[in-house]
Amino acid sequence: MGEDVKASLPVPASATPDFSNWSCPLPLVGYPSIVMGHGGGGKLGNELVEHLFLPAFRNAALENLGDAAVLNLPSGRLAISTDSFVVQPLFFPGGSIGELAVNGTVNDLAVSGAMPKYLSASFILEEGFPLAQLAAIVEAMAKAAATAGVQIVTGDTKVVERGHGDGCYINTAGIGVLREGIEVGPHRAQPGDAILVSGTIGDHGMAIMSVREGLEFESQIRSDCAALNGMIGAVLDAAGAAVHTMRDPTRGGLASTLNEIAQSSGVGINLSEARLPVRNEVQSACELLGLDPVYVANEGKAVFFVAPEAADLVLKTLRAHPLGRDAAVIGHATAEHKGMLVARTAMGANRVIAQQIGEQLPRIC
């Protein structure tokens, strides 16, 4: 049954998903949208689990449907992370809140040096939210989890009255197993480290902006939303302990992430603006809106601080991975101007790239 259900659920390919051909595999007692009872812990809630979540996420730990999933993990150190997702709109070019919710937590574990294993998924749904959209989100999560090689083993659903939510919020938490011999962290960057980014910056934030009401652009900018654990695994396999710091520059973009690392590690950072990979369409959209791509969010990029002698190897490894084709060395850490990010402009002058005050773009993840 599970396979049939999956096959019948469409995954939206664009910002305006088409649900016209969607049909519920087993009728959910005739409700086309979420009602308060779906969060009530009774029959309606059970139906959501049995007809939607279980077929999509199916795995042994989840199938017990106990109050907690029971897991077997190898001995050693574990990492745990959690994140909530409130992106608006829920579907955007290149993904949806579903992929974001899985990849966001997977990436937080991966950049901590952990191999992500298990996720939880909690949904806060607004009364009246179309079941077809929920199904598309759940299906996107299932696919993203399969791609990342993680299992969604426990979850929860709550429903709030109409007007008290914004369709669908998702929280995920994840557990990962730390790799042996890897010690990475935002405080471990060292003067002299080469700084690499795995690809073009600003794609996700501008993809969201491009479909916000009143801002529709003609050219499509797609979100870079992706699970980075495979690519990061390849880098750690190749360079091991030469990797000192990894981060995924999500909200606040590359600038915020680099500023945080500079402050945590007590190093200065020198950046070369000319080397920052930025897509033409992203740069153009940023110009139009008066934004700077260094502050715009990414959901499928990682930043690496590595020992200088390992820079070439890491760059080669990144570029050999499908998610790292546009990787570049963008600067280096220094013992000077500690805690600050200084960029060399294309004109040959220097400017400080400060931490963002407030949010440049709200509700992008």
Nearest CB to another protein, comparing residues 176 and 277: 277
Alpha helices by DSSP H, the chain: 2-8, 43-48, 54-57, 60-63, 97-110, 131-148, 203-210, 229-239, 253-265, 280-289, 311-320
CA distance 3 to 34: 24
DSSP one-letter string for 195-239:
EEESS-SSHHHHHHHHTSTT---SSPPPP-----HHHHHHHHHHH
Shortest Å distance, C-beta 130 to another protein: 22
- Judged by CB, which is closer to another protein: 79, or 311? 311
217 vs 209: CA distance, rounded Å: 9
Please answer whether residues 244 and 113 qualify as being in contact, where contact means their C-beta atoms are separated by less than 8 angstroms.
Answer: no
- What's the min distance (Å) between Cβ of 351 and another protein? 4
Which amino acid appears at position 76 of this protein?
G
Q: How far is the CB of 80 from another protein (least distance, A)?
A: 32
CB closer to another protein, 77 vs 275: 275
| Smallest distance, another protein to C-beta of residue 169, A | 20
Q: Minimum Å distance from CB 225 to another protein?
A: 24
Nearest to another protein of 73, 335 (CB atom): 335
At residue 154, the 3 state secondary structure works out as strand
Least separation in angstroms between residue 308's CB and another protein is: 7
Q: Shortest approach of another protein to residue 343 CB, angstroms?
A: 9
Within 8 A by CB and 6+ apart from 353, the residues are: 255, 258, 259, 271, 294, 341, 342, 343
What token pair was written down for 133? 């959209």
Q: Which is nearer to another protein, 222 or 338 (CB)?
A: 338
Which CB sits closer to another protein, 80 or 342?
342
**CB-count exposure of residue 193 (10 Å: 0-12, 13-18, 19+):** buried
Contact status, residue 145 vs residue 116, Cβ threshold 8 Å: no
Residue 328, both tokens: 């570049």
Residue closer to another protein (CB basis): 101 or 329: 329
The Cα–Cα gap between 306 and 193 comes to 5
Contact (Cβ atoms closer than 8 angstroms) between residue 158 and residue 76: no
- Residue (9 or 276) nearer to another protein, CB: 276
Chain centroid to Cα 152, Å, comes to: 16
**Closer of 226 and 328 to another protein (Cβ):** 328
**In the complex, what is the shortest distance from the CB of residue 305 to another protein, in angstroms, rounded to a whole number?**
12
**Residue carrying the six token digits 């509700």:** 363
Residues at the interface with another protein (CB under 8 A): 194, 196, 214-215, 268, 270, 272, 274-275, 280, 283-284, 287, 289-290, 308, 311, 315, 328-332, 334, 336-337, 340, 342, 344-352, 354, 357-358
Dist. CA 76–CA 363, nearest whole Å: 36
State the nearest-atom distance from the C-beta of 352 to another protein, in Å: 2
